[in-house]
């Protein structure tokens, strides 16, 4: 939809990974084409001067197109085949922004800003686009320097408000979680709202104030104030519907944001209605399908979730998230081969997609491919989820000491990780320390109640009851029975749970 709108209404700037998606799409096209027409050899000149987007494309082509189909030779910068650089790509700032070419936009901004009159409309437009690109590239300090410079030269209310909004977003979205500061972000977003509330033109005010209210909702969300965030998004929607004709992308984004908050606050059907409205407004945009699929998955409607994930797969260049999400559904349905294929493809698309390695390693453990699982699990020794998988591998190999060490390393990094508590509890159970097993599994259940953890704690409690005085044993068996009843509520089709509950209900 955005392609047919005036440029001022195209508010969605593609994320940093957009160019990776494009490179993957091109690589698949090249691979499939060469499989039909035959191999190709390519010489690359002046690669040292390439834009990062081109460098990324060369990397993806080399990684994803078989060497028998495509040979890429990169000529040395000072070699005899090097050609002189006589011109640069034009400074097409509109295209860089619309396509998400953030490196090019940052470079272009640095080149063009000194040529423009400070505090003029063109200068502000270039500055905002440049700071957006820098933020996308994890260069927030440079973006903040530009915004601070702009504040030193301008008293223009609208532009200062936009700069305040951008500063708040830098603070609340910083790529380094340790440098996020939602409280300082609140001060900046309030300044933006104070300024945009005073804009005299109703349409201009509705647009900019709606942006700022939506930004403040994100700050409130980071502070855990979801109800306040929902009220802010609703205010932005009301403002747009009353005073802002057109702008369908802006309105669809607000409804999608309202969906996230209403789902968090316990109204999944309302969230589904908003996501469906966003999809109806722009059926060719993949992101809302992914969000709706995730919500449908959480609501236990896997077939509808699959349909949305597969629509998202078809609507644009390839990206890993829908395949990663589909793998979870396939795994739950017992399609381990399909789940593994989806995870393999997600990692092929983005080798830095850590969550996919976590799930693939766990799946490989289930498939008894412990060598493959270990290769994935040892990829990042500081990742607590991968450490949990490493604990599973050590336990499967009969090394309880190594397993406990892996789980404890995971807990050092993330004390709130339920899987690590459950894993350490399983190790304690196998070693015969049933009381410790029940305690660890209890902590796991406090963090994330699952039928599996409840069932395992019931086993630990039953084992702990053996040899205890009658009164203590009776209490422990009662707790085991309660765990099994709750596990049956969560997983009514689980035969192991039903069988264990029947056994424990027999008179002794």
With 70 as the cut, is the pLDDT of residue 86 above it?
A: no
Q: What is the pLDDT of residue 493?
A: 86
User: Residue 346 in contact with residue 353, Cβ under 8 Å?
Assistant: yes
Closest by Cα among 407, 437, 412 to 425: 437
- pLDDT tens digits for range 202-247: 999 999 999 999 999 999 999 999 999 999 999 999 999 999 999 9
What superfamily would CATH give domain 112-345?
Tetratricopeptide repeat domain (1.25.40.10)
Confidence at residue 488, expressed as pLDDT on a 0 to 100 scale: 93
In whole angstroms, what is the distance from residue 126 CA to residue 146 CA? 11
Burial profile 324-358: b = 16 or more Cβ within 10 angstroms, e = fewer: bbbbbbbbeeeeeeebbebbebbbbbbeebeebbb
The C-alpha atoms of residue 353 and residue 407 are separated, in whole angstroms, by 22
pLDDT > 70: percent of the chain: 97
Query: How far apart, in whole angstroms, are the C-alpha atoms of residue 157 and residue 244?
Result: 20
CA triple 87-90-95, angle to 5 deg? 150
pLDDT computed for residue 453 by the predictor: 95
Both tokens of 77, joined, read 């910068």
Fill in the DSSP letter of residue 14: P
Q: How does residue 479 score in pLDDT terms, banded at 50, 70 and 90?
A: very high
CA 130 to chain centre: 24
118: left (phi over 0), alpha (psi -120 to 50) or beta: beta
Check residue 10 and give its pLDDT.
Answer: 87
Look up tokens 């902590």; give the residue.
Answer: 443
Question: Does residue 322 carry a pLDDT above 80?
Answer: yes
Helical residues (DSSP H) of 315-383, grouped into ranges: 321-332, 336-349, 354-366, 370-377
Q: What is the pLDDT of residue 248?
A: 92
User: Half-sphere exposure (CA, 13 Å, Cβ side) for 127?
Assistant: 27
What is the 3-state secondary structure of 75-129?
A: CCCCCCCCCCCCCCCCCCHHHHHHHCCHHHHHHHHHHHHHHCCCCCHHHHHHHHH
pLDDT at site 88 = 57
- So what's the pLDDT on residue 367? 93
Express each pLDDT in 487-503 by its tens digit: 999 989 889 999 999 98
Q: What is the CB neighbour count within 10 angstroms for residue 85?
A: 10
Of 241, 266, 265, whose CA–CA distance to 252 is shortest?
241
Mean pLDDT of the chain: 93
The answer to whether residue 507 scores a pLDDT higher than 90 is no
Neighbours of 307 (CB within 10 A): 15
Going from the C-alpha of 394 to that of each of 109, 378, 424, 436, 499, the distances in angstroms are 52, 12, 12, 19, 29
Share of the chain above pLDDT 90, in %: 87
Between helix 248-264 and helix 202-222 the angle, nearest 10°, is 30
Q: pLDDT, tens digit, for every residue of 338-370?
A: 999 999 999 999 999 999 999 999 999 999 999
- Residue 292 · residue 279 · CB < 8 Å: yes
Q: Is 319 left (phi over 0), alpha (psi -120 to 50) or beta?
A: beta
For residue 7, the model assigns a pLDDT of: 83
Res. 84: pLDDT tops 80 = no
Render the burial of 391-422: b for 16+ CB within 10 Å, e for the rest. Answer: bbbbbeeeebebbbbbbebbbeeeeebbbbbb
- What does the pLDDT average to over 39-47? 93
| pLDDT score at 171 | 98
What pLDDT does 188 receive?
98
Query: What local confidence, expressed as pLDDT, does residue 90 receive?
Result: 66
Q: Write the DSSP string, 193-224.
A: HHHHTT-SSHHHHHHHHHHHHHHHHHHHHHTT
Contact between residue 159 and residue 124 where contact means Cβ atoms under 8 Å apart: yes
Residue 83 pLDDT: 60
Residue 12 has pLDDT above 80, yes or no: yes
Q: Mean pLDDT highest for which of 186-190, 396-400, 489-493?
A: 186-190
What would the mean pLDDT of 371-376 be, rounded to a whole number? Answer: 94
Superfamily of domain 416-505: Tetratricopeptide repeat domain (1.25.40.10)
Contact 124, 150 (CB under 8 A): yes
pLDDT in tens, 431-463: 999 999 999 999 999 999 999 999 999 999 999
Give the confidence band of 174 by pLDDT, cuts at 50, 70, 90.
very high
pLDDT score for 353: 93
Kindly state the average pLDDT of the residues 94-104: 92
**Direct distance between the N- and C-terminal alpha carbons of the chain, in angstroms, rounded to an integer:** 69
What pairs with residue 42 in β-bridges?
72
2 neighbors 249 (Cβ within 8 angstroms): yes
- The pLDDT value recorded for residue 91 is 79
Lowest mean pLDDT among 103-107, 221-225, 419-423, 490-494: 490-494
- Tell me the sheet residues that pair with 40: 70
Query: Strand, helix or coil at 286?
Result: coil
Domains of the chain by residue range? 1-83, 112-345, 416-505
pLDDT of residue 505: 76
- Asked if residue 373 lies in contact with residue 393, where contact means CB atoms within 8 angstroms, the answer is yes
**Residues 71, 122: Cα–Cα separation, whole Å:** 44
The rounded distance, in Å, linking the Cα atoms of 286 and 75 is: 39
């Amino acid at each position: 939809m955005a392609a047919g709108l005036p440029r001022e209404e195209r508010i969605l700037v593609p994320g940093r990974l957009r160019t990776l998606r494009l490179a993957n799409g091109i690589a698949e096209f090249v691979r499939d084409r060469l499989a039909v027409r035959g191999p190709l050899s390519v010489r690359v000149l002046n690669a040292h001067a390439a834009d990062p987007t081109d460098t990324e494309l060369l990397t993806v082509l080399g990684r994803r197109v078989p060497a028998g189909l495509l040979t890429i030779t990169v000529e040395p910068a000072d070699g005899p085949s090097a050609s002189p650089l006589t011109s640069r790509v034009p400074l097409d700032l509109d295209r860089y922004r619309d396509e998400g070419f953030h490196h090019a936009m940052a470079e272009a901004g640095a080149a063009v800003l000194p040529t423009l009159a400070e505090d003029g409309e063109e200068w502000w437009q270039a500055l905002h686009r440049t700071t957006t690109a820098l933020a996308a590239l994890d260069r927030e300090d440079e973006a903040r320097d530009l915004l601070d410079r702009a504040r030193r030269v301008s008293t223009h209310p609208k532009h200062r408000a936009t700069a305040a909004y951008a500063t708040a977003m830098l603070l609340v979205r910083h790529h380094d979680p340790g440098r996020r500061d939602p409280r300082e972000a609140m001060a900046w977003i309030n300044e933006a709202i104070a300024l945009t509330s005073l804009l005299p033109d109703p349409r201009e005010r509705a647009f900019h104030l709606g942006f700022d209210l939506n930004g403040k909702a994100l700050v409130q969300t980071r502070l855990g104030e979801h109800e306040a965030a929902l009220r802010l998004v609703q205010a932005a929607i009301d403002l747009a519907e009353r005073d802002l004709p057109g702008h369908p992308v802006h309105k669809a984004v607000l409804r999608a944001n309202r969906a996230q908050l209403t789902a968090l606050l316990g109204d999944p059907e309302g969230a589904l209605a908003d996501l469906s409205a966003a999809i109806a407004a722009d059926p060719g945009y993949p992101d809302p399908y992914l969000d709706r699929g995730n919500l449908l998955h959480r609501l236990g409607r896997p077939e509808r979730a699959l349909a949305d994930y597969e629509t998202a797969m078809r609507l644009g260049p390839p990206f890993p998230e829908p395949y990663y999400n589909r793998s979870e559904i396939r795994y739950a349905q017992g399609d381990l081969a399909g789940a593994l294929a989806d995870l393999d493809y997600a990692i092929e698309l983005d080798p830095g997609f850590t969550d996919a390695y976590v799930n693939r390693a766990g799946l490989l453990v289930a498939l008894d491919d412990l060598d493959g699982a270990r290769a994935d699990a040892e990829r990042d020794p500081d990742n607590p989820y991968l450490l949990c998988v490493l604990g599973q591998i050590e336990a499967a190999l009969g090394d309880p000491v190594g397993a406990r060490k892996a789980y404890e390393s995971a807990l050092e990094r993330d004390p709130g990780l339920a899987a690590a508590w459950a894993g350490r509890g399983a190790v304690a159970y196998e070693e015969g320390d049933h009381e410790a097993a029940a305690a660890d599994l209890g902590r796991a259940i406090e963090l994330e109640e699952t039928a599996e953890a409840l069932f395992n704690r019931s086993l630990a409690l039953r084992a702990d009851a053996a040899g205890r005085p009658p009164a203590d044993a009776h209490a422990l068996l009662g707790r085991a029975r309660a765990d099994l009843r709750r596990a049956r509520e969560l997983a009514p089709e689980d035969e192991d749970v039903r069988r264990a509950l029947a056994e424990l209900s027999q008179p002794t």
